[in-house]
Structure 1
Amino acid sequence: MSLVQGIMMLAFTSTSSFMAFYIEQLGVHEMHKVDIWSGVIQSATPLVAALASPIWGSLSDRTGRKMMVLRSTVAIAIFNALAGLSQNTWQLLGLRALQGAFSGFSAAAIALVSTVIPEEKLGFSLGWIQSAGMVGSLLGPLVGGLLADSVGSYRAVFYLTSTFAILAFVVTLIFVKEDFQPAGGNKGGGKRKLSLVGQFRAVKELKSVQTMFLVLFITQFSVMSVQPVLPVFMKELMNGTTGLLGTIAGFAFSVTGLADLIASPFLGKRSDQLGYRRVLTICMTGAGLFYLPQALAPNIWVFVASRFGLGLFVGGILPTANALVGRLTPKHQRGQVFGLTSSATFLGSFAGPLLGGLGSAALGIRWMLGFTCLLYLLNMVWVRLKVKDPESMEAST
């Protein structure tokens, strides 16, 4: 699954460094409109995915998590290939929305790993899954930017993304094994299907898990609020220079992934030893503070160095949060619960680019980077007030 995660993250991120430029190529030329369209298009996939992910998560508890991974890789391959054929921004928007409807890869992958790994090693194991994802995130923007510059076409990168998703499908089909036994003991599922509202009610007794929904939402909102417009900001820092812009933008995205790769296994292991709450506090504080030098960056190199510092901390947040959720959730419910937590994450991915694009158009990108710093620090305060480690909860009962 680590290899599959790496391949899929490479596929997901290979177009991220130039999406704004692709939108310009599709006919949008005014910069404030590029900011808005970037936010809307980047938000379409997670908005629809937020609605679909709990359904796929619940289904994985009845049919198996491997099946959900296979389904999502096929969907991503199809819709990315079609996105490369888009003739205008409306077609691209529609295809991104359809991709979201068949989402569920992350929830299925995390649920699959969390059901076969010993409880006391969840943070460490999910840290390695995160590291594999960061290898893909490290290579994705760089490969995408280099390919776009070398062949002179952004469309070719969408076709490459589709190829990577097909490769992930083949690797999963052949090498990933799952000894799946649905709750109730009979295949096809022993549980009745639940509506989206019914699924939220089903986890009502898991109070600490519900608390993590907001943590995951704010984390993803913070990450994604400036992501779509960063290429435009980098162009500004380079004084409008367009030579090798795709490559440099890809490099700036990739250094965050490189730092994440270095830090994630270490932070994941430390979360099992020091406690999830403490590690979340450290990571959120560090990530928030590294947005300040980005907001004040006088040139592209200060910005890139700050992105590296950000990666040292931000990579520990999601694996630690997911490990905590796994420890707090019975195994037979993990597909359903990770579907719901993925929904919270997708909602952050939807709202972040949309409001970030609008905010950047109205106030400027530097103000949005400063606002992102504040969001991380507020999220850290919420964790300190509301989140408890499983060991402390067991001791109090």
Structure 2
Amino acid sequence: MTKLIYCVLLSHFIAAFAALGMPLFLPMVLPTLDANITSDWAGVLFILPTFCTAVAARFWGQFADKYGRRRSLLRAQLGLAAGFALCGLADNLSMFVFGLIVQGTFGGTMAASNSYLSSQINDAKTLGKSLNKTQLSARLALIIAPIGLGWSLSETNPLNAYLWLSALPLFALVITLTLPIDDLTRSKGIIKDQASNKAQCSQANSLNTLYWVFGAQFSFAFAMVVTFPYFSPYVQQYGVTNQAWVGFLYALPHGVYLLFAGKVHLFSEWIDRHQLERNQAQRTLWLGFGLLSLGAAMHLTPYQEVLIIARIVFGLGMVCCYHGLHQALANQIDQRQSGKVFSRFDAMSKWGGVAAGLSASFISSLGWLEVPFILSMLVSGIAAIALIIHPKFGHQHVKDSIISK
């Protein structure tokens, strides 16, 4: 099982390296296409693949549950490779945009990887830890890819980089082909044997119990991403002018995640010993959103020393939020619907990112660079309060559903 998990993580890292690294260099790519468009349109192209992934998520979730999660993962890797190849071969803006659309519509390796892991791992705690590790591989790619690609792009045409990077998802596809096929026979047999109104209602209720998790995921993605696009000009106005230092501060929360993501389960075990188990994911999310809100508020203080602490606090909030969300999913997921669940979960992250990116772009056009951090603080605080007052979050909702049957 450990070998399977790390094979999935390796293939996800390889795909994420390409998908997360190149968008940062879009301003370098557009001039090579003779594209006479403003920087605002460059921002639209930045979120275009994310938007397409969110739109297509529901369809691919149903595809995974019907035809297999490994097959869906292979599809995502092939779609990512095709999208990058089209971008690399583009000689005009229209073809490049088409490549971005293909990349987003037929990609989605995060949801596909998580869905496959859920089909292979039955233990909730092990699954929760594995989902944390897929985010760890994404954060690692987010740190390494800009550095590696920034160095290599100084030596080559950015479009050629897209073409070369299209080989990475294909390499990930080869790794995935060595993994076991998920057993659909058992799931289909269960569904066939229980093909009654009661069984269908049970599946519907299974998704309904996760709507608060989806809402929390949207809030988390928005609160996190809204602070990213204009972080550099924001800190520069407070005297942070060294670009290497700006880059370090930008990456610091992701570095904190890399350091503590593998240890956060110790906090959960402490909660298990001192609190009711059903509150574990809920309490971790309360703490995560609270730390995010506090970290965002600390960014408003114009002192570099406080800014460093703020970035660390923000990173700790990310650690707790990811862990709480993943553990809530692992505790409540119906494996027959894992494709739908993870596609919707990932879609809410994408929609949150799209909304955050558009909000940050609009706010920055008005010159209010501190407002994204105020928005992050407010959204995180509201999410924490909403989770506290929601009485049926987590296992209690599942328990009530079981009792009602």
TM-score, normalisation: structure 1: 0.81
> Taking CA–CA contacts closer than 8 Å with sequence separation of 6 or more, which of the two structures ends up with the larger relative contact order?
1
Name the aligned partner's letter for residue 252 of structure 2: V
Gaps in structure 2 of 5+ consecutive residues: 1-7, 194-199, 272-279
Given that 1:120 and 1:272 are in contact with CA atoms closer than 8 Å, whether structure 2 keeps it comes out as no
Identity of aligned residues (%): 19
Equivalent in the alignment of 1:265 = 262
Given that 2:206 and 2:334 are in contact with CA atoms closer than 8 Å, whether structure 1 keeps it comes out as no
Alpha-carbon distance in 1 for matches of 2:309, 2:89: 36
Cα distance change, pair 303–142 in 1 and its aligned pair in 2 (3 A): farther
- SS of the residue corresponding to residue 178 of structure 1 reads coil
Equivalent in the alignment of 1:214 = 215
Equivalent in the alignment of 2:130 = 125
Name the aligned partner's letter for residue 259 of structure 2: I
Alpha-carbon distance in 2 for matches of 1:384, 1:343: 24
Are 1:181 and 2:192 counterparts?
A: no
Equivalent in the alignment of 2:146 = 141
Further displaced range: 106-115 or 248-257: 248-257
Cα distance change, pair 265–295 in 1 and its aligned pair in 2 (3 A): same
Alpha-carbon distance in 1 for matches of 2:111, 2:323: 12
Cα distance change, pair 380–364 in 1 and its aligned pair in 2 (3 A): same
Given that 2:212 and 2:393 are in contact with CA atoms closer than 8 Å, whether structure 1 keeps it comes out as no
Equivalent in the alignment of 1:378 = 382
Equivalent in the alignment of 1:328 = 332
Cα distance change, pair 10–158 in 1 and its aligned pair in 2 (3 A): same
Alpha-carbon distance in 2 for matches of 1:201, 1:166: 39
Given that 1:4 and 1:172 are in contact with CA atoms closer than 8 Å, whether structure 2 keeps it comes out as yes
Cα shift at 1:66: 0.9
- SS of the residue corresponding to residue 227 of structure 1 reads coil
Given that 1:52 and 1:103 are in contact with CA atoms closer than 8 Å, whether structure 2 keeps it comes out as no
Per-residue CA deviations over 1:293-347 (Å, capped at 9, x if unaligned) read 4455567x97676445422331332343133123212211111222222222221
Equivalent in the alignment of 1:105 = 109
Alpha-carbon distance in 1 for matches of 2:31, 2:308: 24
Identify the match of residue 369 of structure 2 among 359, 365, 370.
365
Cα shift at 1:215: 1.0
Given that 1:127 and 1:268 are in contact with CA atoms closer than 8 Å, whether structure 2 keeps it comes out as no
Cα shift at 1:62: 1.8
Cα distance change, pair 11–124 in 1 and its aligned pair in 2 (3 A): same
Name the aligned partner's letter for residue 173 of structure 1: L
Gaps in structure 1 of 5+ consecutive residues: 192-198
Per-residue CA deviations over 1:105-137 (Å, capped at 9, x if unaligned) read 222211221232212333223222322332222
Equivalent in the alignment of 1:3 = 10
- SS of the residue corresponding to residue 188 of structure 2 reads coil
Q: Which of structures 1 and 2 has the bigger CA Rg?
A: 2
Structure 2 matches for 1:185-264, cutoff 5 A? 185=189, 203-204=204-205, 206-230=207-231, 233=234, 251-264=248-261
Per-residue CA deviations over 1:325-371 (Å, capped at 9, x if unaligned) read 23212211111222222222221122221222122222433222232
Given that 1:218 and 1:379 are in contact with CA atoms closer than 8 Å, whether structure 2 keeps it comes out as yes
Alpha-carbon distance in 2 for matches of 1:29, 1:310: 38
Alpha-carbon distance in 2 for matches of 1:201, 1:229: 45
Cα distance change, pair 288–17 in 1 and its aligned pair in 2 (3 A): farther
Given that 1:142 and 1:251 are in contact with CA atoms closer than 8 Å, whether structure 2 keeps it comes out as no
Are 1:348 and 2:348 counterparts?
A: no
Q: CA RMSD in A?
A: 3.5
